[in-house]
Structure 1
Amino acid sequence: MDLEKGPREEPGGEGRLAVALRVPVRIVVLVLVVPVRMVWDALVVAGRFLGDRMFRPVGRALLWVGRALLWVGRAVLVWPFVALWRWVLVPLWRWVLVPLGVALRWLGTVLVVVPAAALYRWVLTPLGHAAVWFCARVLTPLGRGLFVVPAVWLYRWVLTPVGHALLWCGRGLAWLGSLLVTGIGTALYWTVRVLVVLPVYAVWRRLLAPVGRALAVVAREVGAAFGHAWRIAGYISLAVGRALAVFFRWTLVEPARWVYRTVLTPVGHAVRDAVLRPVAEAARSVGRVTRDALRSVRVTARQVRRDVRRALGMPAGPAGIGTREKRPAGR
């Protein structure tokens, strides 16, 4: 059986632990999984039946209803706006707003753009050239003599020596700080290594790693047991389902089929041949006799009416009565 099959025995403590746990764990898991698998298979069968017999027709009906609502929504919401856009807004835009925009653009060009271009060309451009010439000829030498030459002298003879001195001091301070940090870091490293790392490593190697390996073996065996139990429960559920199907077939379906074929069908045929067909033939015969009698009564009444009119000297009747009475009955 699948309960006795498993991976090859591994050497060491983990293999012996796996062999010791395999069979009990698989038995317990099989007992727990079989009802769950049977309930799952029953739910799957019920879901398929409901999907084929109820959900799919309801979905199709809802699809048709959605299509109808979509068509109604288009007819109520979309098509009026499309017609408004096509027959009102587009002609308004094409024949009113576009010519108005062209006229406003021409008016703006005449009233704004042309004067602005003339102002820029004949007023602002000469003023700009004059300002550039003044700055280049007057302000540039004055600014160079008042600001640039003193600033260069100050940078070269004052700021540069002070910056070199500050840079040398900063390098010395950085070297001193790195020396202090290195010493403190080394001391902290050995302190943490001796007080924290080595004890944690010992606890991990001697305690946590063996416990973790044991838990991994237990988890692996439990997972494998669940897999085997689920497959075996599937076979058991299939066998139970087939047994129930055979039971219901021979206790309900086959007796009902036998009663229908042996009792109800002959009784129905007998009722049809002995009662329904004679009643139908009699009804048709009565209908034919009734129609013939009514036809004879109508012909007799017409003849009597015609004889009475002739005896009283009255005309035969409105046009077409006499010809209709003399017309052959087959036409």
Structure 2
Amino acid sequence: MDAPRKFEKPPSARPSPQSPEGCLAVAIRVPVRIVVLVLVVPVRLVWDALVAGGRFLYRTVLRPVARAVFVWPWVALWRYVVVPLAKALGRLTNVLVLVPLVWLYRYLLTPVGHGLAWVARGVGDGLAWVYARVLTPVGHACAWVVTGVAALVGRLGRYLLVVPAGWLYAWVLAPVGRAIAWCGRGLLWLVRAVGTGIGVVLYWTARILLVLPAIGLWRWVLTPVGRVLAVVGREVWDALGHAWRIAGHISLAVGRVLGTLFRWIFVEPVSWVYRTILTPVGHVVRDLVLRPAAEAARGVGRVTRQVLAAARESARQARADFRRMVFGEPRQPEPVERREPMDDETRTLGRSTTVLTKD
């Protein structure tokens, strides 16, 4: 008996039964969906067309224009103006501000600071001696005098103020305060009783005149109307979603049809013309016109470079001849005696002796 139970779904996994729908929802659903579908399909087609046009406009116009107008000028400004200017300002700041400040701190402020610290230490030692030898004894004497005066004043204040004030509080103020408090509690009880009675009267008056009519209006008028409006709104919302999805499928089919027509009418003819006509013509033009023209241009460039090189060499020779004619032959460098003899007397790899140790 327990074997089939393990194949059953747990209670939480079982689909809950749908709540039964009333006749009002069923009567509203079909006409509302038909009307909404008729109204939504053109809107969805226009929306999809606008989205496709916006994407094409963004990819082909807005993004390149924005990059050319906003991005590239700022990049060029940063790379060729701000960065060199910042480097120049950094170098000027280093030369005109940091180096003088370091020199001022090292050779002026530091010695002055050491001198001021030495003076401050001397002044501090003097003040410490004055505090220990002069101010401390004077302060102790003043404290002894002040302590005696305070003790005398405390005794006089106790017998002249504190004791009479305590007697006045215990025998006069406390009884009067208790009487006033008893009267206040009685007055508060009376006010509370009157306020409670007035509050009860106002509560029942407001309940009879306002609350009960409002409850009846909510229960017998607003609640049924709200339920009807909720059913209508839910059905309209569901109809809008259903119509929007159906319009999306219709728009997709229309877009595919238009794309297929565009491909048949424009793309495939252009591709066929490019493959069968323009490409062979381009190959012929390249082989018969462009390549010979490029070879001729390269030959003209080589001849031009050779002529320019010969002209530069002739000009160099002419300048050298003119310099020799005006200033004479240049002075030849005098021979310098070398440390080691040349020819056969120098050290070689095949010999074990050097010039200095050779006989």
Same fold, judged at TM 0.5 (above): yes
- Give the aligned partner of residue 147 of structure 2: 132
**CA–CA distance in structure 2, aligned partners of residues 76 and 35 of structure 1:** 63
1:268-291 Cα deviation digits (max 9, x unpaired): 33444555566777x58x97xx97
Q: Which runs of 5+ in 1 are unaligned?
A: 1-6, 299-331
Select the structure that is richer in helix.
1
Change (3 A) 1:205 1:166: same
Indicate the SS of the match to 1:10.
coil
What corresponds to 2:63 in structure 1?
A: 55
CA contact (8 A) 1:9 1:19 kept: no
The aligned amino acid for 2:27 is: A
Does residue 1:254 correspond to 2:268, yes or no?
A: yes
Change (3 A) 1:104 1:23: farther
Distance 1:185 1:23 in 2: 56
Residue from 243, 248, 261 that aligns with 1:229: 243
Query: Closer, same or farther in 2 for the Cα pair 1:100/1:37, shift >3 Å?
Result: farther
Residue 192 of structure 1 corresponds to 206
* Aligned pair partner of 1:10 in 20, 31, 44: 20
Whole-angstrom distance in 2 between the partners of 1:270 and 1:146: 132
Q: Confirm or deny: 8 A CA contact 1:18 1:217 kept in the other structure.
A: yes
In 2: Cα distance, 1:277 partner to 1:101 partner: 83
Distance 1:182 1:242, change over 3 A: same
> Which string of whole-angstrom CA distances, capped at 9 and with x for unpartnered residues, describes residues 98-141 of structure 1?
554554455456547817735642333431332122211x1111
Residues 197-226 of structure 1, C-alpha deviations (whole Å, 9 max, x = no match): 101111111111111111111221222122
Counterpart Cα distance in 1 of 2:97 and 2:33: 74
Name the counterpart of 1:114.
127
Contact 1:33–1:229 (Cα < 8 Å) also in 2: yes
Residue of structure 2 equivalent to 1:36? 43
Q: CA deviation at 1:159?
A: 0.7
Structure-1 residue corresponding to 2:75:
64
Q: Which amino acid aligns with 1:75?
A: K
TM score, norm. by length of structure 1: 0.71
**Matched residue of 1:240: which SS?**
helix
CA shift for structure 1 position 237: 1.8
Segment drifting more, 160-169 vs 81-90: 81-90
Q: Where does residue 45 of structure 1 map in the other structure?
A: 52
Letter of the structure 2 residue corresponding to residue 134 of structure 1 = V
Q: What's 1:123 paired with?
A: 138
Matches of 2:44 and 2:102, distance apart in 1: 67
**Cα RMSD, aligned residues only:** 3.8
Figure out how many residues of one structure are paired with residues of the other and give that number. 283
Deviation per CA, 1:302-331, whole angstroms, max 9, x where unpaired?
A: xxxxxxxxxxxxxxxxxxxxxxxxxxxxxx
> How high is the sequence identity, in percent, across the aligned residues?
51
Following superposition, the deviation at residue 246 of structure 1 comes to: 1.0
- What TM-score does the superposition give when structure 2 sets the normalisation length? 0.66
Taking structure 1 as reference, are residues 101 and 276 closer, same or farther at Cα in structure 2, changes over 3 Å only? closer
Aligned to 1:3: none
Q: Give the 3 Å change call, closer, same or farther, for CA 108–63 of structure 1 in structure 2.
A: same
Matches of 1:280 and 1:101 in 2, distance apart? 80
CA distance in 2, matches of 1:91, 1:212: 86
Q: In structure 2, which of residues 17, 23, 26 is the aligned counterpart of residue 19 of structure 1?
A: 26
Shift of 1:34: 2.6
Aligned equivalent of 1:323: none
